[in-house]
Amino acid sequence: MNEIAINLNPKLPWESIHEDKDFVRSLEELILPPYINTCRWFAGKARKQTLFQITNILEIPLSDSVAFLLIVKVSYDYGEPESYLLPVSFIDAASSNAREILPKGIISIAIINKKRGLIVDAIYDERFQQALFKNLAHTEEIFLKNDKILFSRGKGLSGEDINAPISSRVLPVDSSNSAMVFGEKYFMKLYRKLFEETNPEVDMVSFLTENSDFAFIPAFAGSVVWKQKDAPDITLGMMQRMVENQQDSWTVTGTYVDAFVESFTDQTFAIKEDVFQQVELLAQRTAEMHLALYSPDSEEGFSPEPFDEEYRTFLYKRLTDLLDKRYNMLIDSYTSITDPVTQKLAWDFMESRELIEEFAREILHKDIESLRVRIHGDYHLGQVLATGNDYIIIDFEGEPESSISERKIKHSPLKDAAGMIRSYHYAISSKMFNSEETKELDIKRVQTAADRWYRLVLITFMEKYLDTFGKPHPLFKNNNEINFLMLIYLLEKAVYELGYEICYRPDWVKIPLKGIVNVIREIEKLKM
Ligand SMILES: Nc1ncnc2c1ncn2[C@@H]1O[C@H](COP(=O)(O)OP(=O)(O)O)[C@@H](O)[C@H]1O
Ligand SMILES: O=P(O)(O)O[C@H]1O[C@H](CO)[C@@H](O[C@H]2O[C@H](CO)[C@@H](O)[C@H](O)[C@H]2O)[C@H](O)[C@H]1O
């Protein structure tokens, strides 16, 4: 926390503080750089930051004061600048509110207009939470000098909650955005890294809620959009129904795999019937989500499209760019790989470069009549909440590494299916290779058992997934196209993951490498 002597004009109350240039400069130069670097949602920590600039200050009235939405532009020594949303409010140190603010929400202690208090991240200030909910419930518009903030209510907000008092709190989950919970009934996400254009998550969730009867996402309850006069809209937040979940599916699958590992160490290959039922249920919900997104009569943003030249070129370029980057990363980190199994997999990948590139080129001219639609885009077990007897799909923001326009590109829904298949591969591999129980066992036997588990789950998922569409369906022309596209998307995902693991979890590098080698073996079979 910063304690600084802020040189303020004492005549200015907090409500007019944005007009005080010295104060704004103090924030930009002294207070925000160290504070923002402590925040989990700030993605620029690893790069050298050259400038913090408050580009906009948007005022939100509170019951007894105001909060300001600061738009903070961060520039780096390389790469594009990024804009972040930081809402701030001032709390009198003597008030009971001040004692409830978590240390990570305190930006600075300050004396403003002779009053000592805290400048806080306003998501921790109950007055701000309440203002957000009320504005949204009443579809308010806040008019600013040139712009406005538009609060829209979605179908998911019940009429009975519009005027009734509602409790509010910050959800204690640290991730790339921030979340607040209202009345234990609504989940509101405040986006931190801002993008010009409507956030794809709002597009997707509102489309599914308003235009389909797919019930396995939390219903859309509203959005907060900053509408600028001569610039694109920027989504600041979104509210959905709150899901009472026990765990996410990554955790649930982990418990199944634990039981499997235990049986394996007793020389038994045992998968409970329940596991297959759960995999089938998730496959069915995934297919139902894609059926809801297949909407031939809808507006352009959601109508199906063919595998045209533009998309083929995009897909080919993305895959080959990723391959180039990952080969370079692997060469740079090769000497640090000491595990012989990982080394062997890395060699297989390096030696197969030509084969992979030749296979990737097929994207450009192979006959593909299957269609493309909007998809989840970052689909893995961690994005599915388990409610006990069913699944709810969340986090439609798309792939973290992609730009917003890339995230809105339509793909074959098999890209999501491949994401989930990769996730099952991770689930079995991470336990089989990293658990105490299997440490002393013959690695080849462990690998064979992991492969068998994976293949059974893959077949179970894919059969149920495709069956749910009924045949024929315009999204999948024939088995030949399904098999080709699955291999392309599995390859793309595993190659992406290789970079993620080299950077974040070097011990897990062998998992995506094995995923890549599995695809290589399939390509070889096709050539035989
Ligand atoms: N509608 C919801 N109801 C209850 N919890 C939710 C809901 N949506 C997300 N969560 C919880 O919040 C966490 C972060 O949500 P997510 O959408 O993944 O946010 P981020 O964009 O920050 O990654 C999830 O892992 C989940 O635990
Ligand atoms: O959920 P995020 O959007 O932050 O995705 C990133 O982190 C994921 C890990 O949390 C990573 O997912 C990979 O590991 C998962 C297990 O931890 C596994 O289930 C996924 O299949 C695998 O891709 C994701 O790749 C990365 O973008």
Rounded Cα distance, 495 and 327, in Å: 9
pLDDT in tens, 37-60: 999 899 888 789 999 999 999 999
Any ligand 2 atom below 6 A from CB of 382: yes
Q: pLDDT category, 11, cuts 50, 70, 90?
A: low
Any ligand 2 atom below 6 A from CB of 250: yes
Ligand 1 pocket, mutate which of 191, 395, 397, 399 (most atoms under 8 A from CB): 395
pLDDT in tens, 113-142: 888 899 999 999 999 999 999 999 999 999
Q: Evaluate if residue 353 carries a pLDDT over 70.
A: yes
Atom number, ligand 1, closest to the C-alpha of residue 241: 1
Any ligand 1 atom below 6 A from CB of 378: no
If we measure between CA atoms, which residue out of 342, 512, 423 comes closest to residue 520? 512
What SS3 class is residue 411?
strand
Q: For residue 193, report the distance from its CA to the centre of ligand 2, in Å.
A: 19
Atom number, ligand 2, closest to the C-alpha of residue 430: 16
If we measure between CA atoms, which residue out of 178, 222, 179, 201 comes closest to residue 84? 178
Q: Evaluate if residue 505 carries a pLDDT over 90.
A: no
Q: Closest Cα to atom 15, ligand 2: which residue?
A: 423
Instruction: Please list, in sequence order, all residues whose beta carbon lies within 8 angstroms of the beta carbon of residue 238, skipping any fewer than 6 positions away.
Output: 188, 189, 191, 199, 201, 202, 205, 220, 222, 223, 224
Q: Are strands 2-3 and 106-112 parallel, antiparallel or unpaired?
A: parallel
Q: For residue 385, report the distance from its CA to the centre of ligand 1, in Å.
A: 9
pLDDT at res. 9 = 52
pLDDT at res. 403 = 85
pLDDT at res. 444 = 86
Q: Evaluate if residue 217 carries a pLDDT over 90.
A: yes
- Find out whether 87 and 190 touch, Cβ atoms under 8 Å: yes
Rounded Cα distance, 394 and 390, in Å: 13
Q: pLDDT category, 328, cuts 50, 70, 90?
A: very high
Q: What would the mean pLDDT of 17-36 be, rounded to a whole number?
A: 92
- Find out whether 399 and 407 touch, Cβ atoms under 8 Å: yes
Exposure of 110 in the CB half-sphere (CA atoms within 13 A): 25
Any ligand 1 atom below 6 A from CB of 394: yes
pLDDT at res. 336 = 85
If we measure between CA atoms, which residue out of 133, 131, 107 comes closest to residue 118? 107
Q: Evaluate if residue 1 carries a pLDDT over 60.
A: no
Q: What would the mean pLDDT of 344-351 be, rounded to a whole number?
A: 96
Q: For residue 258, report the distance from its CA to the centre of ligand 2, in Å.
A: 20
Q: What percent of the chain has pLDDT over 70?
A: 98
- Find out whether 233 and 191 touch, Cβ atoms under 8 Å: no
Q: Evaluate if residue 6 carries a pLDDT over 60.
A: no
Q: Name which residue leads in pLDDT, 173 or 140.
A: 140
What SS3 class is residue 442?
coil
Any ligand 1 atom below 6 A from CB of 75: no
Q: Evaluate if residue 491 carries a pLDDT over 90.
A: yes
Ligand 1 pocket, mutate which of 84, 175, 208 (most atoms under 8 A from CB): 175
Any ligand 1 atom below 6 A from CB of 501: no
pLDDT in tens, 241-251: 999 877 999 99
Rounded Cα distance, 12 and 495, in Å: 55
Q: For residue 278, report the distance from its CA to the centre of ligand 1, in Å.
A: 21
Give 95-150 as a 3 state SS string: CHHHHHCCHHHEEEEEEECCEEEEEEEHHHCHHHHHHHHHHHHCCCEEECCCCEEE
Any ligand 1 atom below 6 A from CB of 395: yes
Q: Evaluate if residue 10 carries a pLDDT over 50.
A: no
Q: Are strands 2-3 and 49-61 parallel, antiparallel or unpaired?
A: unpaired
Q: Evaluate if residue 4 carries a pLDDT over 60.
A: no
pLDDT at res. 94 = 85
Any ligand 2 atom below 6 A from CB of 400: yes
pLDDT at res. 421 = 98
Q: Evaluate if residue 196 carries a pLDDT over 90.
A: no
- Residue 214's Cβ-count burial label (10 Å; 0-12, 13-18, 19+) is middle
pLDDT at res. 355 = 97
CA angle (250 as vertex; 207, 464 as ends), nearest 5:
65
Q: Evaluate if residue 5 carries a pLDDT over 60.
A: no
Rounded to 10 deg, the angle between the 340-351 and 353-365 helix axes is 50
pLDDT in tens, 392-448: 999 999 987 788 889 999 999 999 999 999 999 999 999 988 777 778 788 888 889
Q: Closest Cα to atom 21, ligand 2: which residue?
A: 423
Q: Among the listed ranges 184-188, 473-477, 501-505, which one has the minimum average pLDDT value?
A: 501-505
Prediction pTM value: 0.90
ipTM of the complex as predicted: 0.96
Q: pLDDT category, 13, cuts 50, 70, 90?
A: confident
Q: pLDDT category, 89, cuts 50, 70, 90?
A: very high
pLDDT at res. 78 = 87
Atom number, ligand 2, closest to the C-alpha of residue 493: 23
Any ligand 1 atom below 6 A from CB of 240: yes
Q: Please name which ligand lies nearest the alpha carbon of 221.
A: 1
Rounded Cα distance, 455 and 462, in Å: 10
If we measure between CA atoms, which residue out of 138, 173, 326 comes closest to residue 248? 173
Q: Please name which ligand lies nearest the alpha carbon of 244.
A: 1
Ligand 2 pocket, mutate which of 252, 380, 490, 510 (most atoms under 8 A from CB): 380
pLDDT in tens, 254-300: 999 999 998 988 888 999 999 999 999 999 999 999 999 999 988 87
Q: Evaluate if residue 111 carries a pLDDT over 90.
A: no
Any ligand 2 atom below 6 A from CB of 378: yes
pLDDT at res. 2 = 52
- Residue 207's Cβ-count burial label (10 Å; 0-12, 13-18, 19+) is buried
Any ligand 1 atom below 6 A from CB of 172: no
Atom number, ligand 2, closest to the C-alpha of residue 496: 25
pLDDT at res. 175 = 81
Atom number, ligand 2, closest to the C-alpha of residue 423: 21
